[in-house]
Amino acid sequence: MCNNKVPQRSYSENNTNLPKQLPLVGLGCSSFSSFFSSEDNNDELTVDTVSRELPVVIGWIQTIRHAVLNRGINLLDTAPWYGHGMSETVVGYALDTIILSDEGCDQAQQRKRSDLIINTKVGRYEADVLKQFDFSYETTMKSVQRSLERMNCSYIDVIQLHDPEFAPNISILLKETIPALLECKRRGWARALGLTGYPLDVQHEILVKAASEFNTIVFDQSLVYCHNNIHDNSLFSEYCFPSERAATDTFAGFCQHSNINLMAAAPLSMGLLTHSGPPAWHPAPTVLKEACVKASKLCASEGVNLSFLAILYSLSHPSIGCTLLGMKDEKEVDVAADLASRFSTVNFDKENQDSILDQVLTRKEKDVLEKLLDKTDGPFAQLKEDYRWDGRKAARTFWELVDGMKQK
């Protein structure tokens, strides 16, 4: 195991609401709950039964401490939706052992609150589909207060609007959710505002309409997921976002022009880019899943770890300030941190992605990546529109289910 710290990168020069630097890798905290796993009967845990004395929770706390104190991963990203409150609660347990006052601390074992970046979300909450989403002003205000209490924080660095594609309409976001977020920021509960969701066109629409409604750039940050990886690079390549500035623009270009900073999550595309494959609930079309299996077999035949290569590829883009990765234990933290440490000497401000990849990949990894990205013979070459899934359709399907349940 290497104990090198994860490199820090410059992030926000023109927006004082956001941190000036971020770790290259951030800790996605959905793993610290029963959200994605039922191992060791964790599925029986709830926010009401979880406690810091439970062995699994002790392990989670140690994982967070190891990431922050030993590997320099000082950004934690959570949400009320993760474990329906459990993740925030566990993060709070860990922070109780990490944070001392800004007046002084033991640098070996603790950190100042100002040394950490703690982000959470609003809008998505309960497992019950009838109570899963709530974008009202009152619930948004209560959610932020509850997050502060669970994590025992005086403020959140970035409060993010969670999965806004599931909002019944954009009007409720403009009239209720966003005014609540702005009030939270005014009260000092949040330093900055962000949003996160799968469909880039929905994010774009909200960003444009919010700026028009409030006559200012409302959101400081956009967190995207599954759009900056080996099978889907549409964040930088798809020109489908009309703007006043130009006839067409990519989402990344739009954010840059609007002084909205970008972060990314899910470099493994929620399990697609792994040798074990995605979970059964994964929304990807069958042809994409099959292409990822081909990619896995290609990597295995060359002795290259697909997941490692996918993470390195996602970390290499100079426009992404930080990439969030779920890490459920200390071993996974060390794997991610060791991969990130390859970028220690990279100057992201002066290099492009190709030159960065040349510096961090081995010769064999470069050869395999070239085969994976080959537009003629690569495993993803024939996907056309199937390199992603339809986020708007998923939202429509959800509300059709809700309507059907209400009618019974």
Q: How confident is residue 153, by pLDDT bands cut at 50, 70 and 90?
A: very high
CA 122/CA 135 separation, integer angstroms: 8
Over residues 234-246, the mean pLDDT reads 70
Examine residue 44 and state whether it is found in any structural domain, yes or no.
Answer: yes
For 11-49, list the strands marked E by DSSP: 21-23, 25-28
- Which tens digit of pLDDT belongs to each residue from 301-335? 999 999 999 999 999 999 999 999 999 999 999 99
Please work out, in degrees rounded to the nearest 5, the angle formed at the alpha carbon of residue 112 by the alpha carbons of 111 and 116: 80
The two tokens of residue 150 are 């669970």
Examine residue 346 and state whether it is found in any structural domain, yes or no.
Answer: no
Domain that holds residue 138: 21-271+306-337
Round the average pLDDT of the chain to a whole number and report it.
92
CA 102/CA 109 separation, integer angstroms: 14
Q: How confident is residue 284, by pLDDT bands cut at 50, 70 and 90?
A: very high
CATH code of 133's domain: 3.20.20.100
Examine residue 13 and state whether it is found in any structural domain, yes or no.
Answer: no
According to the model, what pLDDT value does residue 109 have?
74
- Which tens digit of pLDDT belongs to each residue from 185-220? 999 999 999 999 999 999 999 999 999 999 999 999
Is the predicted pLDDT of residue 84 greater than 60, yes or no?
yes
Is the predicted pLDDT of residue 241 greater than 70, yes or no?
no
Query: Per mean pLDDT, which range of 33-42, 144-153, 292-301, 353-362 is the poorest?
Result: 33-42
According to the model, what pLDDT value does residue 57 have?
96
Query: Per mean pLDDT, which range of 21-25, 37-41, 79-83, 397-401 is the poorest?
Result: 37-41
According to the model, what pLDDT value does residue 240 have?
60
- Which tens digit of pLDDT belongs to each residue from 115-126? 999 999 999 999
Examine residue 349 and state whether it is found in any structural domain, yes or no.
Answer: no
Distances (CA, A) of 100 to 96, 114, 385: 8, 10, 50
% of residues, the chain, pLDDT over 70: 93
Examine residue 373 and state whether it is found in any structural domain, yes or no.
Answer: no
- DSSP secondary structure, 112-164, as one string: EGGG-EEEEEESB--SSGGGSB---HHHHHHHHHHHHHHHT-S-EEEEEEE-G
Examine residue 163 and state whether it is found in any structural domain, yes or no.
Answer: yes
According to the model, what pLDDT value does residue 104 have?
55
Angle (deg, nearest 10), helices 200-214 and 391-407 = 80
Is the predicted pLDDT of residue 268 greater than 60, yes or no?
yes
Examine residue 162 and state whether it is found in any structural domain, yes or no.
Answer: yes
According to the model, what pLDDT value does residue 93 have?
97
Is the predicted pLDDT of residue 246 greater than 60, yes or no?
no
According to the model, what pLDDT value does residue 38 have?
47
Over residues 260-270, the mean pLDDT reads 97
Q: How confident is residue 69, by pLDDT bands cut at 50, 70 and 90?
A: very high
According to the model, what pLDDT value does residue 384 have?
86
According to the model, what pLDDT value does residue 386 have?
93
Q: How confident is residue 263, by pLDDT bands cut at 50, 70 and 90?
A: very high
Residue owning tokens 């070239």:
370
Listed as own residue / partner, the contacts of 51-56 with beta carbons closer than 8 Å and 24 or more positions apart are 52/93
Which secondary structure element, helix H or strand E, spans residue 363, and what is its range? Answer: helix 363-372
Examine residue 325 and state whether it is found in any structural domain, yes or no.
Answer: yes
Q: How confident is residue 227, by pLDDT bands cut at 50, 70 and 90?
A: very high
Over residues 103-132, the mean pLDDT reads 86
Q: How many domains does the chain have?
A: 1
Amino acid letter, 233: N
- Asked whether the beta carbons of 54 and 62 are under 8 A apart, the reply is no
